[in-house]
Amino acid sequence: MKISYPGINSEISEWKGQEITDFQEELHNKVNGHLSEKWFYTHVKSTGKSLPRIDVLNMLSQYAGYLNWNDFRHKNMKQVPLAFKLQESNSIFIKVPLLMLLVVVLLIILFRIINTQNYRFTFIDADTGEPVRGNVIKADLLLQNESPISYLSDNDGIITLRTDQGRIKLAVFAPYYLPDTLTRTLKKFNRTEQIRLNVDSYALMIKIFSQEDVKGWEKRRDQLNNIISDEAMIFQLPDNNERTGMELFNKQEFIDKLTMPVSSLDQIEIMDSKYHQGKIVVLRYKVKK
């Protein structure tokens, strides 16, 4: 085109109306070929990646002085194979790590599925060796950088948890038993374990006191005075069937309440207690009606 039209724009993508028309006439005169204006905008002035038909490539190659498209490629595109090799090489450097990453992820998922098992914990009284029955035992599975997962025992005092961890930490709570935090190494081929709970003697003593008659009330008051801290906060929680609010007692108020012959205390139920220097500092209980 520069030979026939010296002033034409060197950038073919910049050609417009008359320049495109001149090019169409050149093709017609030199190789008896034709390109529509639409084709020109589709393949030359567009950023799309659609390739021209082979007959069009042959025509353009003949216009440029070659036998056909293959002849043009053979004589002018010797660097193309190298470029393709580089592109293919770069593609391998991308695809291989991605494939390896995918394999690793799949292996991790498969490993976790295989290693995720149900583990069964039976809680027993450390003194009697008897199971702690009733769905009263709460266990929190402590996870790193995550909130704990809570479990509640069934009527046989059994908690079943599902995990893929090899080592776990459990915080265990049960009425009339001391709270405990346990660390366990899980065994894949022995997924049943017994955990001993130590009796909360003071909480059990308070329950027994509430069920005794008034005889020996002075001795009872002295015993309560010894096991409860002067700064203790004692909460009576509302029974499930009541709509009353929570009540707060200090040490003396609670001792007075517990040593009076009031039948409503026959069904006292200690929910939990906390200790400091061997004395109760926090006590929560309910009175069953």
Sign of CA dihedral 126, 280, 156, 121: negative
C-alpha 86/C-alpha 153 separation (Å) is 63
The segment(s) of the chain belonging to CATH 2.60.40.10 are: 116-197
pLDDT confidence of residue 230? 93
**Do 228 and 251 meet the contact criterion of CB atoms below 8 Å apart?**
yes
Helix boundaries (H) for the chain? 17-31, 37-43, 54-63, 69-76, 80-115, 201-211, 217-227, 251-258
pLDDT confidence of residue 215? 63
C-alpha 176/C-alpha 258 separation (Å) is 17
Q: Which value, in Å, is the radius of gyration of the alpha carbons in the chain?
A: 43
In our burial notation (b when 16+ CB lie closer than 10 A, e otherwise), range 59-90 reads bbbbbeebebbeebeeeeeeeeeeeeeeeeee
**Do 151 and 120 meet the contact criterion of CB atoms below 8 Å apart?**
no
pLDDT tens for the 289 residues of the chain, in order: 888 888 888 888 888 888 888 888 988 888 898 888 888 888 887 777 777 888 889 899 899 989 898 888 888 876 555 555 555 566 677 777 888 888 888 888 777 666 678 889 999 999 888 888 888 899 999 988 889 989 999 988 899 988 878 888 999 998 889 999 989 888 777 788 889 999 998 888 888 887 776 566 778 888 889 999 999 999 998 876 666 678 899 999 998 888 776 554 557 888 888 999 989 999 998 887 6
C-alpha 273/C-alpha 289 separation (Å) is 22
pLDDT confidence of residue 139? 92
pLDDT confidence of residue 262? 58
Contacts for 221 with CB less than 8 Å, ≥ 6 apart? 255, 259
* In this structure, CATH architecture of domain 116-197: Sandwich (2.60)
CB atoms within 10 A of CB 235: 16
